Amino acid sequence: MKNIFVVFLFVLLLMACEKSETIDPETYSCSFNFTDNSANHPKAQQYQATVNEIVSKGTVGIMMSVYHPNSGQWLGAAGKADINNNIAMQPCMTSRMGSTIKMFTATVTMLLYQEHKINLDEKISNYLKASYIHKIRNAETATIRQLLQHSSGIYNYIQNPKFQTASMNDLKREWRAGDLLPYAYHQPAYFAAGTDVRYSNTNYILLGLLIEQIEGQPLHEVFEKRIFNPLGMTKSLFAAKNPVPNNIARGYIDLYSNFKIIESTYFSGWDYYTADGGLISNPYDMSLFFRKLINGEIISQPLLNEMLTWKTPKEQDADFFPIAYGLGIFKMTTAKGDVYFHSGDAIGYYANMMYIPSSKSVIVYAVNSNYGKLDEWVSTKKAIEKILESTWE
C-alpha cells in the first residue's frame, strides 16, 4: 500500500546533490539455482513486450514473474538496475519490496497461532510491554486479529506530518520501532476497534514486536528461520540484516514530475528494522512464497481460510479497485475477476504480488523507480489493469 510523504523544497535541493557510486559490474552478477526456461515459454514475447513498454514510459527498471499452473513460469526484466554504472536489470537481481513484507509478517503470526503460542483474539496489550501500548489509542483494546486485518483503528504513524518532516530532514537516518511509534502517540484513533478497516503501518510495527518477543530473536532471524530458508528463498532477506546490499538495484525517484530522476537508494531508513516494511527480494522468490502460502504448504488450510476472511471498508478509494481486507492480504475486484494481493513501496521502489484464484496464477513485479509521473505506469489502477490484461489466463 502506498506510503504517504510530504516533499519539501529544501530537501529536494539536498537530494539533487547526491552523487551516485561507482560500483564494479561484477557486484551485480547473479543467477538462479535452477534452469530458467523463460525463453521457451509460449508467451515469452508477449510478457517481455509488457515490461519493455513499462520501461519505455519512463520506469528505470523492472523485474517480473508470471506463473500459470498450465504454462509454467516466465521470468523477465527490462531497463536498468543502475544508471550510473550502466547495469541492465536482470530477473535474478534484488530490490526493495516495501509493505509486501506485511503478508510475511502476517504469515509468521499465523504460524505462532498454529503452534498455540498466541491467541489471535486476545488483546495485543496482553503480550507487549505497557511502554509500547499505553500512549497509542486503541492499542490497549485491539486484538492481534484486528491488527492483522487493519481493523484496530490505530493511527498510522506515517501520516503524522511531524514524522514526514523528520524523515525528510534526515533521509539516511535508520529508524527503529522505538523511534517510529512515538509518532502514533496520543493521536486520535480512526474508529473503535473492530468497527471498520483502515490501513495502518503502526499495526505491523506492533506485530513485529510481538513476533520478536514470542520467538526471542530479532525479526531478520525469525524470517530466515520461518520463511526464507524453509522455502528456498535464496534471494530474500530482511533489511535489518543488511540494510543496503551492494548488489541491490539502485532506487530512483521522479520528485519534480518531469522524468528528471534522482537516485534514492539510501533514503528508506525508516523501513529497515520494523515489520511494516524492510523486505529485500525479487519476483521469483515472492511468487514462490505466495504459491506455497495459498497451497497450504506454510500454514494449515483452516488458518489460511482465516487469512482470506474479508472485511470491506466503509469508504473505498475512488481511484483504485474496490478492495477488501484479510489478515495481511487484500482482495481487489477487477473487471476480470478477484485478485488477492499486497503491494508495497519505498523511496525509489515499488512492488506488487498478485494471485488470481480463478486460474491459480501468480504475477509479481518490482520496479526500482517511483513517484511523480512514474507511478502512472506501475502502481495506479490503470497500470495494474494493463499488467493483468497482458498476463491473465
CB atoms within 10 A of CB 229: 12
End-to-end CA distance of the chain: 25
In CATH terms, the superfamily for domain 9-14+41-391 is DD-peptidase/beta-lactamase superfamily (3.40.710.10)
Q: What is the pLDDT of residue 18?
A: 53
Q: Edge-to-edge strands of the sheet including 252-253?
A: 262-263, 252-253, 369-370
Task: Spell out the residues 6+ positions from residue 50 whose beta carbon is closer than 8 angstroms to its own.
Answer: 64, 386, 387, 390, 391
Where does the pLDDT of residue 83 fall: very low under 50, low under 70, confident under 90, or very high at 90 and above?
very high
Q: What is the pLDDT of residue 256?
A: 83
**pLDDT digit string, tens, across residues 327-358:** 999 999 999 999 999 999 999 999 999 999 99
Task: Spell out the residues 6+ positions from residue 334 whose beta carbon is closer than 8 angstroms to its own.
Answer: 321, 384, 385, 388
Mean pLDDT confidence for 370-376: 95
Return d(Cα 107, Cα 126) in angstroms, integer: 20
Structural domain spans, the chain: 9-14+41-391
Q: What is the pLDDT of residue 255?
A: 83
Find out whether 282 and 235 touch, Cβ atoms under 8 Å: yes
CB atoms within 10 A of CB 223: 27
Residue at grid coordinates 532506487 = 251
Q: What is the pLDDT of residue 19?
A: 62
**What values do phi and psi take at 324, rounded to 5?**
-130, 150
Task: Spell out the residues 6+ positions from residue 198 whose beta carbon is closer than 8 angstroms to its own.
Answer: 150, 153, 156, 190, 191, 313
Mean pLDDT confidence for 210-229: 98
Q: What is the pLDDT of residue 20?
A: 77
Find out whether 381 and 334 touch, Cβ atoms under 8 Å: no
pLDDT at 13 over 70: no
**pLDDT-wise least confident of 51-55, 170-174, 292-296:** 170-174
**What angle separates helix 381-391 from helix 44-56, to the nearest 10 degrees?**
160
Task: Check residues 6 and 240 and name the one with the higher pLDDT.
Answer: 240
**pLDDT-wise least confident of 11-15, 45-49, 279-283:** 11-15
Where does the pLDDT of residue 259 fall: very low under 50, low under 70, confident under 90, or very high at 90 and above?
confident
Coil, strand or helix at 7: coil
As a whole-number percent, the residues of the chain with pLDDT over 70 amount to 95
**pLDDT digit string, tens, across residues 14-65:** 444 456 799 999 999 999 999 999 999 999 999 999 999 999 999 999 999 9
